[in-house]
A and B are shown apart, each in its own frame.
Chain A
Amino acid sequence: MQIITEQNLRNLIDLLVKEAKLVVGPKLSGSVVLYEPLTAGTELTLDALPRRSSKELFFPVCEDILSYKREGGGMKVTDVDRSKFPETVLIGAPPCDAGSPSILDAVMSWDYKDEFYLERRKKSTIVGIACTKGDDACFCQAVGLAPDAENGSDLFLTPLKDGSYACNAVTEKGQALVAAHKNLFAEGAGAEPVPFVDQAVQKLDLVKIKKWLEEHFEDPLWERIADICVGCGACAFICPACHCFDINDEGSTDDGVRRKHWDACGFAKFTNHASGHNPRDVQNKRYRNRIMHKFKYYDDKFGKTLCTGCGRCIRACPVGIDIAEILETINGKAE
């Protein structure tokens, strides 16, 4: 087994920064911890789950996709040079975050290839870390992940009781990262791993839940939730797996930028048609879509569940809607 000490993990970050790589990891930013570019290993903080998930590394909050300018008699359109996207290392993502890109790859490379997302994915290495603490909103085990799940990580770190980390190179990218910085890693037996916390939510039967969803497109459950949902996008925006976006041209008619930015199915105007017709005209249809998308539609299409159980939506919901509780309810109802 290979071991890296905490100091050497921080040294690795320093080295990667020197190699002109973009290194992103949990960092204290004002009063919140966010995934932000690290300029030194000392900035890495592993004390708290970042408020926003690491999906923004591949799917930014907002990005320019082209610019336009009126020139002569016509309009000159300039694409974004995606070859300039930097080589990136995401470091310190727990399984609920590290696992999300491998879920999103399916939709981003489906009938339409999202070159912005895919280029960033190609150039990135994910160093995941096993999770040793959590709270009563965490439910990764219930949706098939685990605090020590390696899904999605290229290199996976397990915290050991002596403060160092056991390393497992899961993919070739992970092996390459270790091989390029061999002197920071040591061969050894290592200390005992730090134990994982127990989660409040028991494992859910996702097959059963999906079947119930298939049979209950109409159900009083949706109205009960809609009674209290205020229709904001907080749950979707901080979710590692939600990936809806909107595209807007911003600027003047002569000069401007086309931008892609996060959108959310909870918003009243999300499905508003140009005609004025809105097929999801009330909140219960919108919340139903959120659950259906995560636990039925995505599975139908790609064979994966669109939820990693990070619990962010539960912690952030202004009105206390608890997706784990809803899933437990459905799990109990389903035959």
Chain B
Amino acid sequence: MNAKASKNQLTSIEPAYYEAVTEAIRKEAVKILKEETVVGVVGYLPGRRKGTATPALVTSVEEAEKLIFSPACVNNLSVYLTKAKKGVLKQGKVGIVAKGCDMRALAGLMTESQLQREDLFIIGVVCPGVYGFGVERTGTLTEANIARKCRECTVHMPEGADVAAGTHAELADLTPEEAEEMARIEAMPQAERWAFWKEHFSRCIRCMACRQVCPFCYCEQCLCDKNRPQAVESSPRPAGNMAWHLVRAMHLAGRCGGCAECERVCPMDIPLNLLNRRMAKELKELYDYEAGLAPVEKGPLNQYKEDDDQSFIK
């Protein structure tokens, strides 16, 4: 089937679509809990405030019947299966609700031997997009309230899930804001680009939310927490902030699945996903590699071949 030809040219995604996905998720979650295929399901529950959702680990049928999917289901839940969030996986096989971008993170974590496919039951969500930050939460998703990352999503259809909830629906003709912003920055003279990032990093308060929500920031000892000797200044000042964000961008090169959670959670509005995108572009150009589309044996930056290009060593 030609995906392009079957694409619905929609200008809005109505609440009915999310209700249908919600039903499918509940049905599947209840089933796998009843059958004891899994010990729990990581999904979303409604928040107290209008149009909000919150991640949850549900372990009973009763709770599973409350799971939801809505444009407020912004989180990448794969973070709950990482080493940094010890405890969830240890309990046994778990179910997880995964949008396309979350699937990329799961594939990446499998690549890095952090997860075993057989330990997971993946309820894939055919996701038309989620809300951006600080937008009106009406239940209907439109060009006006969709997240930046979703405007250029290439993984609406999750591949490799055990079941898929939803049918193909996506908004048509969205402006690729991130690509445009990246092109704008790349066109800047180097000094101006440096000033752009200096300005953004000057606001960083080192709350580490970017690190804590990232599925790939699972190191048990982060370089930035090291203080004897101190590797990166831990005080929220220009030097340490710059070092921290550069270290992170480099460590995520070839690994970041593009969920843009780091950018979403930054309380200071630092456009962190631009760094990730730029590194992804480098990896694509240098190694023809895109992170996390499917589990692979090894990523390009964690293997060595004798015929690797050595020209960068001067």
Contact = CB atoms under 8 A, between A and B. Distances in A.
Interface stretch (B16-24, B124-132, B153-161, B200-208): B200-208
Contacts of B57: 227-228
Nearest to A312: B267
A174 interface: no
Contact of A319 (B50, B54, B225, B269): B54
Interface in B225-249: 225, 227, 230, 233-237, 240
Contacts of B234: 246, 248, 261
Interface of B: 47-50, 52-57, 75, 79-80, 84-85, 87-88, 199-200, 203, 205-209, 211-213, 225, 227, 230, 233-237, 240, 261, 264-265, 267-269
A232 B206 CA distance: 9
Contact of B47 (A51, A246, A320): A320
25 contacts: A32-B268, A136-B48, A200-B49, A228-B55, A230-B84, A230-B85, A230-B212, A232-B209, A234-B207, A246-B234, A248-B233, A250-B230, A250-B233, A259-B237, A261-B235, A261-B236, A262-B205, A262-B206, A316-B267, A318-B212, A318-B261, A318-B264, A320-B75, A322-B49, A322-B54
A272 B117 CA distance: 34
A264 interface: yes
A52 interface: yes
Contacts of A29: 203
Given A137-B49, A261-B236, A230 B79 contact: yes
A279 B104 CA distance: 36
Contacts of B53: 320
A264 B207 contact: yes
A246 B79 CA distance: 27
A236 B206 CA distance: 11
Interface in A241-286: 246, 248, 250, 259, 261-262, 264, 267, 269, 282
Q: Of residues A31, A32, A62, A228, which shows the largest number of chain B Cβ atoms within 10 Å of its Cβ?
A: A228
The 10 A-B residue pairs whose C-beta atoms are closest, nearest first, are: A320-B54, A318-B265, A232-B212, A232-B209, A230-B212, A233-B207, A261-B235, A325-B48, A234-B209, A234-B207
Contact of B212 (A231, A246, A259, A325): A231
Nearest to A324: B48
Contacts of A230: 79, 84-85, 209, 212-213
Interface string A165-193: 00000000000000000000000000000
Interface string A136-147: 110000000000
Contact of B52 (A200, A227, A231, A320): A320
A59 B233 CA distance: 19
A74 interface: no
Contacts of B203: 29-30, 32, 34
A199 B260 CA distance: 32
Given A62-B236, A227-B56, A228-B57, A238 B267 contact: yes
